[in-house]
Amino acid sequence: MNTPQEATDAVRILRGLESGNPSVRLRAALAVGTTPDPRFVDKLIERCAVEPEFSVREMLTWALTRHPAALTVPGLVDQLRSGRAQARSQALHTLSKFGDRRAWPAITRALLTDADDEVARSAWRAAVVLVPAGDEPALADVLASQLGRGGRETQLSLSRAFVALGEVSTPILRAAVRDPDPGVRQHAIATQRLLRDPDTGFEFAIEEAKRVVALGETERKR
């Protein structure tokens, strides 16, 4: 049973998490993570879905990881079905921090190909952490369907996912290099370069890939 002081502290923290001042919200999330309490798990998850400040969201995620996975993972998985993109994205981000493979079945193709770039990027990061041994080729196949998507940050996230999967990505990328879409070919070539040498800068890899694709187009027209 909670003491009157504990009840008062709980009310203060809950109010802090909803304060209009981001510094107050940050301190409240820090307090929950410093002294984990199951009573706050649902509120932390709920707040992740709407919190506008990146630093506060990171603190909320950290606070959630300070609680047992058995208490947090089910609620996070529920958020993956939310109609709010931030709820899905932040839940995926937090699940990647837990690394609990029981969440793997919830990382669906729909999430990996989500129309929202932030959700898709979070899904790629979570997937390469949670994928069970033996399922990597199937995951790489789905990721290949996203080659050429979005701007540099999105493409870099996808390339990093392929690099994290390792050699299982090689035949998938080799096939993508022959794709009729030059954007897909370019991204695949750049990712191959990163897979061979992870220290290569993405900007350098993508510019080199552009030259390779352009040269190929020129040769084809001759």
The whole-chain average pLDDT of the chain stands at: 91
pLDDT digits (tens, 9 = 90+) for 27-75: 999 999 999 999 999 999 999 999 999 999 999 999 999 999 999 999 9
Helix (H) or strand (E) holding 171: helix 169-176
pLDDT at position 76 over 60: yes
pLDDT at position 215 over 90: no
Higher per-residue pLDDT: 69 or 12: 69
Give the residue from 76, 110, 82 showing the smallest Cα distance to 94.
76
Q: Which pTM does this prediction carry?
A: 0.88
Exposure string of 104-125, with b = 16+ CB inside 10 Å and e = fewer, is bebbeeebbebeebbbbbbbbb
pLDDT at 6: 61
CA distances from 128 to 1, 13, 160, 165, 220 (A): 42, 34, 10, 6, 36
Exposure string of 67-97, with b = 16+ CB inside 10 Å and e = fewer, is bebeebbebbbebbeeeebbbbbbbbbbbbe
Confidence of residue 219 (pLDDT cuts 50, 70, 90): very low
How large is the average pLDDT for residues 122-151? 97
pLDDT at 5: 58
pLDDT digits (tens, 9 = 90+) for 153-211: 999 999 999 999 999 999 999 999 999 999 999 999 999 999 888 877 777 677 777 68
How large is the average pLDDT for residues 109-120? 98
pLDDT at 1: 47
| Contact in structure between 143 and 131 (CB atoms under 8 Å) | no
14's tokens? 């809950």
pLDDT at position 217 over 80: no
pLDDT at position 7 over 60: no
CA distances from 186 to 72, 90, 100, 216 (A): 40, 30, 34, 11
CA distance 181 to 199: 27
CA distance 168 to 125: 16
Show the CA angle centred on residue 189, arms to residues 183 and 191, nearest 5°.
100
